[in-house]
Amino acid sequence: MPLTPSFDAPAPASTNPPSRDWRALVRENGTPTFAAAFADDAVLEASVLERPLTGPDAIGRFFKATSGMYDSLEFTHETRDGRKMYLEWSGHVFGQEVGGVTIVTRRADDRIESVRLYHRPFSVVSRFSAELARRMEQQ
């Protein structure tokens, strides 16, 4: 039997878009509110990291380090499907165009179990990764 994708109906205008909630949470990095939103063994995988980061503290350090790196960032498409949230985004970093997707997966208790964050193009990934590593070492 072939699998067919499921698509959520468009959210009513009064519902907060997923990106608004996500941005608000990311701004809370390093706080108890941020930590409580994640499972203790939550994992962040990103194209700008050499290896995954595990746990709310490590994930918070990642977002603290990336804070201020983007010249601009706009979420262009977003949807939820069950426990997954997909956020497509574009912007500028180091004066160059950047884009990507963020995929957030939640557990049944609504805590985040994984974040997958992918940047493009490769030239930006390389430069962003190097700057991110430098910033994380300084924390």
Whether 6 maps to a domain, the answer reads: no
Amino acid at 13: A
pLDDT in tens, 78-137: 999 999 999 999 999 999 999 999 999 999 999 999 999 999 999 999 999 999 999 999
pLDDT averaged over every residue in the chain = 89
pLDDT of the residue at 5: 40
Q: What's the burial of 81, exposed, middle or buried (CB within 10 Å: 0-12/13-18/19+)?
A: exposed
Whether 2 maps to a domain, the answer reads: no
Whether 5 maps to a domain, the answer reads: no
pLDDT of the residue at 15: 61
Rounded to whole angstroms, how far apart are CA atoms 66 and 100?
Answer: 15
Q: What is the value of pTM for the model shown?
A: 0.85
pLDDT of the residue at 10: 44
Look up the CATH number of the domain holding residue 93: 3.10.450.50
* DSSP code for 17: P
pLDDT in tens, 19-33: 899 999 999 999 999
Collapsing DSSP to helix, strand or coil, 84 comes out as strand
Number of domains in the chain: 1
Whether 25 maps to a domain, the answer reads: yes
Cis preceding-peptide flag for 121 (omega within 30 of 0): yes
Whether 63 maps to a domain, the answer reads: yes
Whether 89 maps to a domain, the answer reads: yes
Whether 77 maps to a domain, the answer reads: yes
pLDDT of 16 over the 80 cut: no
CA distances from 6 to 40, 54, 79, 96 (A): 30, 30, 11, 35
Whether 134 maps to a domain, the answer reads: yes
pLDDT of the residue at 54: 98
pLDDT in tens, 66-84: 988 999 999 999 999 999 9
Range of the domain at 56: 18-138
